[in-house]
Amino acid sequence: MHEYEEDGYQVYKMGLWSPGPGCHGGCGAEVYLKDGKVVKVEGDEDHPYHQGRLCPRALALRQYIHHPDRLKYPMKRAGERGSGKWERISWDEALDTCEQKMRDIREKYGAESMVFGQGTGRDSGGPIIFLAYAYGSPNWTLFGLSGIACFTPRLAACTMVMGDMTFPDAAQFFPARYDDPDWKCPEVILSWARNLQGSQCADHYFSGHYVIDMMKRGAKLIVVDPYNGWEASRADLWLRLRPGTDGALAMGMIKVIIEEGLYDQDFVEKWTFGFDKLKDEVATQSLDEIAQITWVPVEKIVEAARMYAAAKPAQMRFGQPLDSNAEAVASIHALASLWALTGNIDNPGGNVISRPVKGVTVYPYSTVEVIQLYGQEFVDKMNEKRIGADKYPLVKNFRSWAMSDDVLEQMETGKPYPIKGLWCQTNNFLAGTAQDPRRHYEAVRKLDFNVVVDTFMTPTAQAIADIVQPAGAITEKDSAFTTGIPLNPIYKVAETEEARMDWEINFELAKRLNPQAVPWPNVRALFDQRLSVAGHSFDSLVEAGWALAPKGDPTCPYNRHEKGLLRPDGQPGFRTPSGKFEFYSQKFEEYGLNPLPHHVEPLESEISTPEIHKEYPLILCTGRRVGVMFHSEHRMIPWLREINPDPPVEIHPDTAAKYGIKDGDWVLLEGTYGKAKRKAKVTPLTHPEVVVAQHGWWIPEARYEGDGNPYKVWDININQLIPMGHNSKSGFGGALTKTMLCRISKVKEGEEVSYA
User: Which residue(s) pair with 189 in the sheet?
Assistant: 221, 315
Neighbours of 336 (CB within 10 A): 27
The architecture that CATH gives domain 75-142+362-475+497-520 is: 3-Layer(aba) Sandwich (3.40)
Q: Say how far apart CA 635 and CA 621 lie, in whole Å.
A: 21
User: Which residue(s) pair with 314 in the sheet?
Assistant: 188
pLDDT in tens, 225-246: 999 999 999 999 999 999 999 9
Is pLDDT above 60 for 549? Answer: yes
Question: Tell me, what amino acid is at 451?
Answer: V
Q: Say how far apart CA 659 and CA 649 lie, in whole Å.
A: 14
Q: Say how far apart CA 308 and CA 189 lie, in whole Å.
A: 8
The helix/strand/coil state of 337 is helix
- Give pLDDT, residue 359: 85
Is pLDDT above 50 for 756? Answer: no
Comparing 28-42, 178-192, 481-495, 695-709, which segment has the lowest mean pLDDT?
Answer: 481-495
Q: What's the whole-model pTM score? A: 0.96
Is pLDDT above 70 for 484? Answer: no
The helix/strand/coil state of 532 is helix
- Give pLDDT, residue 131: 96
Q: pLDDT band for 198, please (50, 70, 90 cuts).
A: low
Burial of 460-477, coded b for 16+ CB within 10 Å and e otherwise, reads bbbbbbbbbbbbbbbbbb
- Give pLDDT, residue 197: 61
| Segment 294-315 mean pLDDT | 98
State residue 482 phi and psi, 5-degree precision: -115, -5
Q: pLDDT band for 752, please (50, 70, 90 cuts).
A: low
Question: Tell me, what amino acid is at 378?
Answer: F
Is pLDDT above 50 for 5? Answer: yes
State residue 137 phi and psi, 5-degree precision: -95, 135
- Give pLDDT, residue 417: 98
Q: What angle do CA 566, 552, 577 make, to 5 degrees?
A: 5
More confident residue, 205 or 425: 425
Is pLDDT above 70 for 201? Answer: no
- Give pLDDT, residue 200: 43
What are the residues whose beta carbons fall under 8 Å from the beta carbon of 69, sequence distance 6 or more?
A: 456, 457, 636, 700
| Segment 14-26 mean pLDDT | 83
Neighbours of 247 (CB within 10 A): 27
pLDDT in tens, 122-161: 678 889 999 999 999 999 999 999 999 988 999 999 999 9
More confident residue, 53 or 443: 443
Q: Say how far apart CA 633 and CA 426 lie, in whole Å.
A: 10
- Please name the fold of domain 164-356+568-590: Dimethylsulfoxide Reductase; domain 2 (3.40.228)
Domain ranges in the chain? 75-142+362-475+497-520, 164-356+568-590, 610-746
Whether the CA torsion 330, 332, 338, 344 is positive or negative: it is negative
* CATH match of 610-746 with 2.40.50.140: no
Q: Which of 124, 116, 575, 133 is CA-nearest to residue 375?
A: 133
Is pLDDT above 90 for 748? Answer: no
Neighbours of 72 (CB within 10 A): 14
Alpha-helical runs (H) found in 456-545:
459-464, 502-513, 523-531, 538-544
Assign residue 719 a region: left if phi > 0, alpha if psi is -120 to 50, beta otherwise?
Answer: alpha
- Give pLDDT, residue 753: 55
Order the strands of the 3-6 sheet from edge to edge. 3-6, 9-16, 27-34, 37-43
State residue 247 phi and psi, 5-degree precision: -60, -40
Q: Which of 617, 682, 685 is CA-nearest to residue 649?
A: 682
pLDDT in tens, 243-299: 999 999 999 999 999 999 999 999 999 999 999 999 999 999 999 999 999 999 999
- Give pLDDT, residue 121: 65
